[in-house]
Each structure stands twice: as structure tokens, then as C-alpha cells.
Amino acid sequence: MTLEELQKLDAQHIWHPLTQHKTANSPLAIKKAQGNYLFDMAGKTYFDAISSWYTCSYGHTNPVLTQAIKKQVDELHHVVFAGMTHEPAAQLSKKLIGILPDNQQKLFFSENGSTSVEIALKMAFQYHFNRGEKRNVVIALENGFHGDTFGAMSASGLSVYNGPFEDFFIDVKRIPVPTEENLSEVLYLIDELTTQNQVASFIYEPLVQGAAAMQMHQPEHLCQVLKCFQEKGVLTIADEVMTGFGKTGYNFASEAMLNKPDMMCLSKALTGGIMPMAITTCTKKVYDAFYDDELARGFFHGHTYSGNPLGCAVAAAAIDLLTSDAIQENIQLITQSHKKHIKVYQSHNAVDSVRSCGVILAIDLAIEMERYGSKRNEIFQWFMNHGIFLRPLGKTIYIVPPFTTSPQELELLYKALLVFLDEMTSKKAQFL
């Protein structure tokens, strides 16, 4: 197919996510991707600085993952997961439980981050219901993001585009991200919100709030908040859809806290960006509230593609990669390298603030702009013109490079960021 034919068909029939088609440029046609690079149909190459929305952390078409899926493809593609099971799921369960915080014992499969959150919220509501308590309130962090289905959307504090749906939301109360300064106020607020015993669950993104433009917080304050909720019988849900699988330097961000969550939501890098798959994990305590002679106490939730064997096979291989010495060393290398470079950017005139956590590095520019406005688009285009794919969020430019990024590639990325900042401050800059 020629590029023109593709673009014509796309424009005719395809509705893209998060897009106002009237004003958007036509989407870039990608021919293939390999390692840390995307190749478009016009022959241009781009470094994938955000691992395609934090999924392909081991690089595109990673041969280990390709091999895992090829092996599975001749055996079993899909089968009903209600009343049936298979070896890929069993293998994956052993590997995943092996790296999760110890208290996580049961895995519930679905296909995307939003459904993994939806499942966690429903599980928490029914957990209390099964124990004879009516708890119908969820508490979430300000500026959290948990996905685009109704429950997940209700829990998300970034509701810029949720206007048409707000009347249908579940009851969610919000608390600020706990910090050194506000911790006692936040604990007091939690006390107030929980006096009626109506709170079913508390959902949060540990260490890094991704969609809030990579906002970061310290684990110790959040850890106290978790403890406080757990004392009040509120189930805690760590949404690690973005932070999971190595991005924060830990296998899971929850490892940074002594108090472990009651449930966890996983997706994005779970399969290394190959198959859409998600898992909601929980403790035995949660599971036991559903374990009963009575049918209706079970969890009657299920998606057609639950536990897809191809997804399971590739996720198990991805965990082998994650826990390999080579990848673990490179994660630490990128982490240290980011820390060093923070100082360079911090003193730059064009920069307001810089932060990093694991392989995530975020720079806030010293100008105000809209989340998806025209200035933001110009910055996006600047990096694309320089062969780097990243997606600025308002004034924040961030990178989450694949774990397979080499020191040389990292240097090129840092340099491009610096050139951009220099151009921004010089008169040549078109953005100011």
C-alpha cells in the first residue's frame, strides 16, 4: 500500500483515540519498529523515547518475546478461561507471584489498564458487600489517572475532558498527594472521610502519577496514608499500570513502601508491548471474602479474552527479561545517568523544574501552556524533526526510554533535550 492510499483509508474510516479530527494533523504512518526505533513509511527513523506509552520496555520486536509468542502460536491461541485453564497461565502465575510483593496471592486477568482498575474497584465494593457492609465511596489522589472506562474515569482526578460523563460517575472523594508538609492534614482528612465507614477503597499511583505529567512523590508519606486506610478496613489499590515492571527502578513501585497494597493493577509493560493484557492482583484476605458455598458471593466478572494464552506466554518471557542481569543492570545505569543529568537541566534558563525516578525523567519548562495546545504540538514536532518520539504534556517534557537504551543513545537524548532548551531561550525560538 502506498502512503497516500493508507492515509486516504485512514481518513475515511478510522477514528483515532484522544483526537479532535477536525484540527489534528493526519497521523504518522509507521511501517515497522525494531529495538528502540520506529520507522515511518516515508523512511524516517525515530527513537521511541516513551517506549510507546510505557509498553515496549525491552525494545520493539525483541527476539526473546517474538520467540515466546511464536512457540505458543502453534499450540493454543485462545480458549474460554471460565472453567478451563492452561500451562501459559500457570507458568505466568508462578513467575509473576515470584516478583510481586509477598502479600499478593491471586491474579485476575483482563485486557487493558482501565479494566484492571474497574475490576479492582468492583472487587473492593463486593468484598465489603460480602462481609455485610455497605461501603460505596472510593477515595483517590488529586490528579490521579486510572483509565477511561466509567469506574476508572470516576477515580481519575484529571477530568479535563470528562464533562459529558460526570453525572454518571461513582462516588469518589479526593485527597491531596501526601507530602512532608501536608501529611497531618491529609491524615486528618482521611479520618473525616471515613467516620461513616462508607469508604470501600483507596486507589493511587505509587511514586509517579504518569498522566499528571510524571508528578513524583516520596514513598514514606504515602506509606503512612496506606497504613491509616488499612486500619480503617479500607482496601488499598495500587494502580501500577504505568509504574509496574521496572520503570521506577523497582520491579514495582509498591516495593518502596513498607505497607503493601491489598490489590494491584498491572498492564502496559506486562507483555512488553506485544499483546493487550492486564492483571488485577489481590491478597488472600480479599479472595477469601468471595470463597463460599454460595454462588452469588463469587466474582461474576469476566472478559472474553481473559487469560489469553498468547498474552500469558509473552508476559512470562517478559518477566524473564525483566529479572535478567542485563536488564536490571541497564535499569540502574539509566536511573543513575538521569540523576546526574537533572543537575545540568536544573540550572537552565528555560527550565522550571526537573525530576527523575528510575528510567523516568521529566522537565517542566518555564512557560505556561495548555495540555494539548498548539505550543505543545510545536514542541512535539521539534523532537520528531530531530528523530525523537516523545509526547509532551503541557509544559512537561518527559522520557521513559526502553530498558534496552544504550549509554550512547542516552547521551544523544540528553543532548537533544539540551539543544531544544537552548533554542527555546535563544531568539531563534519560535515557541516563545
Ligand X SMILES: *Cc1c(COP(=O)(O)O)cnc(C)c1O
Interface residues toward ligand X, by CB under 6 A: 112-114, 117, 145-147, 205, 210-211, 239, 241-242, 267
Q: Please say which residue, 205 or 364, places its beta carbon nearer to ligand X.
A: 205
Q: Please say which residue, 236 or 337, places its beta carbon nearer to ligand X.
A: 236
**Residue indicated by cell numbers 484522544:** 18
Question: Least distance from C-beta 98 to ligand X, angstroms?
Answer: 23
Question: Least distance from C-beta 185 to ligand X, angstroms?
Answer: 25
Q: Please say which residue, 270 or 289, places its beta carbon nearer to ligand X.
A: 270
Question: Least distance from C-beta 312 to ligand X, angstroms?
Answer: 17
Q: Please say which residue, 239 or 262, places its beta carbon nearer to ligand X.
A: 239
Q: Please say which residue, 223 or 270, places its beta carbon nearer to ligand X.
A: 270
Question: Least distance from C-beta 325 to ligand X, angstroms?
Answer: 28
Q: How many angstroms separate the CA atoms of 416 and 394, rounded? A: 19
- Is 114 assigned to a binding site? yes
Cβ–Cβ < 8 Å for 375, 25: no
Q: Please say which residue, 121 or 223, places its beta carbon nearer to ligand X.
A: 121
- Is 303 assigned to a binding site? yes
Residue nearest to ligand X (CB): 113
Q: How many angstroms separate the CA atoms of 91 and 93, rounded? A: 5
Q: How many angstroms separate the CA atoms of 150 and 166, rounded? A: 9
Question: Least distance from C-beta 145 to ligand X, angstroms?
Answer: 5
- Is 353 assigned to a binding site? no
Paired with 106 in beta bridges are: 282
Question: Least distance from C-beta 424 to ligand X, angstroms?
Answer: 28
Q: Please say which residue, 86 or 268, places its beta carbon nearer to ligand X.
A: 268
- Is 323 assigned to a binding site? no
- Is 268 assigned to a binding site? yes
Question: Least distance from C-beta 248 to ligand X, angstroms?
Answer: 12
Q: Which of 324, 252, 310 has the alpha carbon at shortest distance from 281?
A: 252
- Is 391 assigned to a binding site? yes
Annotated binding-site residue numbers for substrate: 53, 268, 302, 391
Annotated binding-site residue numbers: 53, 113-114, 239, 268, 302-304, 391
Annotated binding-site residue numbers for pyridoxal 5'-phosphate: 113-114, 239, 303-304
